[in-house]
Amino acid sequence: MYTGIMKSTIKVVAISVLGLGLLTTSSQAKDYPTKPVNLVVGFGIGGSADRMARSMSTFLSDELGGIVKVINKKGAGTQIAANYILKRPADGYTVFSSTFSPYLATTILTGGAKYKMTDFDFINIQWFDYELFAVNKNSKYNSMVEVLNAIKNHPKSVKAAVVQGSGGHLILKLLLEKYNIPQENLNLVTYNSGGKARTAIAGGQVDLIAISAQGSENIKEFIKPLAILKNDRVQQWDAPPLNEAIKSLGFKVPVFSGSMRGFAVRKEFKEKYPKRYEKLLGAIKRTLASKDVQKFLKSNQIGYVWTGPEESNKLIDESYQFFKKYGYLLND
If pLDDT is split at 50, 70 and 90, which confidence band does 20 have?
A: very low
The pTM assigned to this predicted structure is: 0.77
| pLDDT of 22 strictly over 90 | no
Q: What is the pLDDT of residue 332?
A: 63
Q: What is the pLDDT of residue 10?
A: 39
Q: What is the pLDDT of residue 115?
A: 96
Q: What is the pLDDT of residue 143?
A: 98
| pLDDT of 197 strictly over 60 | yes
Read off the pLDDT of each residue in 300-316 and give the average, rounded to a whole number.
94
Please state whether the peptide bond connecting residue 102 to the residue before it is cis, i.e. omega within 30 degrees of 0: yes
Mean pLDDT for the chain?
89
Beta strands, E only, 90-221? 94-101, 120-128, 131-136, 159-163, 187-191, 208-212
Least confident of 5-9, 112-116, 210-214, 328-332: 5-9
Q: Is 192 helix (H, G, I), strand (E, B) or coil?
A: coil
Report the DSSP beta bridge partners of residue 225: 134
If pLDDT is split at 50, 70 and 90, which confidence band does 166 have?
A: confident
Report the DSSP beta bridge partners of residue 190: 162
pLDDT tens readout for residues 108-133: 988 889 999 999 999 999 999 899 99
Domains of the chain: 37-128+258-330 (3.40.190.150), 131-249 (3.40.190.10)
Q: What is the pLDDT of residue 17?
A: 39
pLDDT tens readout for residues 238-258: 999 999 999 999 999 999 878
HEC assignment per residue over 107-143 = HHHCCCCCCCHHHEEEEEEEEECCEEEEEECCCCCCC
If pLDDT is split at 50, 70 and 90, which confidence band does 31 have?
A: confident
Read off the pLDDT of each residue in 42-47 and give the average, rounded to a whole number.
84
- Of the chain, the percentage scoring pLDDT greater than 90 comes to 72
If pLDDT is split at 50, 70 and 90, which confidence band does 57 have?
A: very high
